Amino acid sequence: MKEKIIQVFREFKEQRVLVVGDVMLDAYYFGRVDRISPEAPVPVVNVSAKDRRGGGAANVAVNIHNLGAEVHICSIIGNDREGQYLKHIFERAGIHTDGLIMDPERQTTVKTRVIGNNQQILRVDEEDLDALGRNIEIKILDYVKSRLYETDVVVLQDYNKGVLSKYVIQRIISACQDADVPVVVDPKKENFFAYKGVTLFKPNRKELREGLKTDEDLQDKRSVEKALLELNEKIDANQIMVTLSEDGTAIFSEGTTQFIPAHPRKVIDVSGAGDSVISVAALCVALNLSPAMTAELSNLAGGLVCEKVGVVPIDADLLLTEAVEVIP
């Protein structure tokens, strides 16, 4: 198995990936909390460091690039400094930005997190959630179609920020099916059932529960299996992989659900874990790996980034080392 896993990581570097979805800029203030404000019962953070990173679909693109693949990003940014900084992040990482479309009618999404004593204290969101204009949607679709014959897998990363409308989703899936390119999806509840016929669909437990509008808490294997069967009847995906936090991952394929347990972790921050999971899953799908191997590697990736503060992309060498050690 060790040699097989090493070969998989080598082949990751040969893949060409197109990421389509909501990009955002993640801004951070890091510091210490030693007192409560005299003005209001809130902590005072003495800031010692600041940082800005790619979030959302941007983080997925960076994750996949870190695993060695060639990445093109297709999304919307505003005509603002934040959008230009996101473009700079992509270019610095070696991610292709020819599909990054500037929309002067929108602002670039920014999430600002305040971290005190290694714990998130506050998040401030700046965003525009209005629907895209049809002319912008057409630009997205034209770009996606132009790339498909040089793409091994398409990732649809949905954060309900407007890029992936039903119109765009359905037309991208149709174009990918015509070009025989697999599609993997990280959904949100707004268009949960619009992703019919995709290759791999990856909600987390909360998204699965909300999407199905079920009263089940999905805390046991039987209820998860039932939910995945119900979901498959609605979206008919080749594979459905649901992340279950401390309970690991479940993957459904060909009528059967396999459960992959979580590995012991010192969880510090779960931000960005889903991005790492879908990034690894996309490359596994591109290589046509088994559902079990896809779930194993994706599960490890999500767990590793939870040991870091903030949204942090996966370290490919660290993931490979752990995969070789723990995957039977």
Q: Is the pLDDT of residue 45 over 60?
A: yes
Question: Using one digit for the tens of pLDDT, what is the confidence trace for 12-44?
Answer: 999 999 999 999 999 999 999 999 999 999 999
| Helix ranges (DSSP H) in 33-165 | 57-66, 81-93, 134-147
Question: Using one digit for the tens of pLDDT, what is the confidence trace for 119-178?
Answer: 899 999 999 988 899 999 999 999 999 999 999 999 999 999 999 999 999 999 999 999
More confident residue, 217 or 93: 93
Which is the catalytic residue, given 152, 186, 269, 275? 275
Task: Please report the domains of the chain, with CATH numbers, ordered by start residue.
Answer: 2-326 (3.40.1190.20)
Q: What is the mean pLDDT of residues 86-109?
A: 95
Predicted confidence at residue 268, as pLDDT, reads 57
187: nearest Cα among 210, 171, 167: 210
Contact 19/144 with Cβ under 8 angstroms?
no
Q: How confident is the model at residue 326 (pLDDT cuts 50, 70, 90)?
A: confident
Phi, psi of 51 (to 5 degrees): -155, 155
Dihedral of CA 86/64/251/323: which sign? negative
1: nearest Cα among 326, 303, 294, 317: 326
Three-state DSSP at 11 gives: helix
Predicted confidence at residue 328, as pLDDT, reads 72
More confident residue, 85 or 261: 85
H or E element in which residue 256 lies: strand 256-260
Other beta carbons within 10 angstroms of residue 233's beta carbon come to 8
Question: Using one digit for the tens of pLDDT, what is the confidence trace for 267-317?
Answer: 655 566 789 999 999 999 999 999 999 999 998 888 777 666 666 778 888
Q: How confident is the model at residue 118 (pLDDT cuts 50, 70, 90)?
A: confident
Q: Is the pLDDT of residue 2 over 90?
A: no
Q: How confident is the model at residue 265 (pLDDT cuts 50, 70, 90)?
A: low
* 149 exposure class (CB count in 10 Å sphere: 0-12, 13-18, 19+): exposed
DSSP class of residue 130? S
Q: What is the mean pLDDT of residues 50-63?
A: 94
Contact 106/128 with Cβ under 8 angstroms?
yes
Q: Distance between CA 315 and CA 215 in Å, rounded?
A: 37
Predicted confidence at residue 264, as pLDDT, reads 64
- 220 classed as catalytic: no
Question: Using one digit for the tens of pLDDT, what is the confidence trace for 192-245?
Answer: 999 999 999 999 999 999 999 888 888 889 999 999 999 999 999 999 999 988
121: left (phi over 0), alpha (psi -120 to 50) or beta: alpha
